[in-house]
Amino acid sequence: MTRRNSPVYTLGELAERLGARLVGDADRRIVGLSTLKEAGPDQVAFLANRAYLKDLPEARAAAVLLHPQHGETCPTARLELDNPYLGYAALSRLFDPLAGREPAGVHSSAVVDPSASLGARVEVGPCAVIEAGVTLGDDVIIGPGSVVGADSVIGAGSRLHANATVCHGVVVGQRAILHSGCVIGGDGFGFAHDGARWHKIAQLGGVILGDDVEVGSCSSIDRGALGDTVIGHDVKIDSQVQIAHNVQIGDHSALAGCVGIAGSTRVGKHCMLGGGVGLSGHLTICDGVQVTGMSLVTNSITEPGVYSSGTGAMKNAQWRKNAVRFKQLDDIAKRLSRLEKGRDG
């Protein structure tokens, strides 16, 4: 997509930035990126999935970013890389309209407590609130309507999009991105029951986010009951994810939309949780685990690998039959055990 005031690069400049092999006119001007099917003569497209090879012969892009093995069938100029998807990620940042602009400073409608410490080149948008004792590192951007609670720390280069909330006593690392509607450091779900009613347990811990963490829109990361909820470096969290109090997530893990993690569960490094995955509380998930979408995990996982639960969709009539059989499994297992014992005897 090409936007107003988009930066302009030559193909030669893009090849140099990517470390790619350019086949074509190095002086060709590029104003944006688009899909292989829709890219025009001043845009770059990319091919990272073999499913889209069928679209390559008809490409009208100024150039296509692709793997060298597909270069000979490309009808336009090309940028060859062994990992074109990684190259696409780098190109997307070059053409990001939010990148590289001058900070706008503190808006006149923002409320910044006099005790807050603001680093160099900080931007605080309209109607944002920065409470007492807050520290904002260099190059931090606080979007319109966002709130940073008392005594919180936002690391250098981090960005809060509009209407993000960081509650009191939260530490956010460097280069973090918090999208609109997310809440970092809200109270964990802690209550004691006396037999008739619930009594709130004050949540006295905090939240620590590592460097390069991204949290999607409307996701919640609850503060710890006593210790902290800890999210490691380079963790990527999609939209509408719920992370309960005292959860720990290891470096470089990724959580897709609608994941729910109950309290005090520990997720290792380099783990991936598919959309809608649920983890029960007080579990330990070791490093290198992948859980496929809509799975429910009720026991700790101690060996790396891919794990799944549940059944795929099927016609309702078949599902109803299977549901009945599922209720009969225990009885069938007992009958089978008796038969095997009789045969062995």
Which helix (H) or strand (E) covers residue 222, if one does? strand 220-222
Confidence of residue 119 (pLDDT cuts 50, 70, 90): very high
Rg (CA), the chain: 26
Cα separation, 303 vs 290, whole angstroms: 11
- Residues serving a catalytic function are 245
pLDDT of residue 54 exceeding 80: yes
Strands (E), 57-103: 63-66, 77-80
CATH of domain 111-307: 2.160.10.10
- DSSP line for 272-334: EE-TT-EE-TT-EE-TTEEE-TT-EE-S-B-S-EEE--S-----HHHHHHHHHHHHHHHHHHH
Residue-wise pLDDT for 142-201, tens only, equals 999 999 999 999 999 999 999 999 999 999 999 999 999 999 999 999 999 999 999 999
The reported pLDDT for the residue numbered 344 is: 67
The answer to whether 208 and 171 have CB atoms below 8 angstroms apart is yes
Residue-wise pLDDT for 6-36, tens only, equals 789 999 999 999 999 999 999 999 999 999 9
Confidence of residue 98 (pLDDT cuts 50, 70, 90): confident
Confidence of residue 84 (pLDDT cuts 50, 70, 90): very high
Q: Note the pTM of the prediction, 2 decimals.
A: 0.90
CATH topology classification for 9-94: 3.40.1390
Mean pLDDT for the chain overall: 95
Confidence of residue 4 (pLDDT cuts 50, 70, 90): low
What is the domain partition of the chain in residue ranges?
Answer: 9-94, 111-307, 317-345
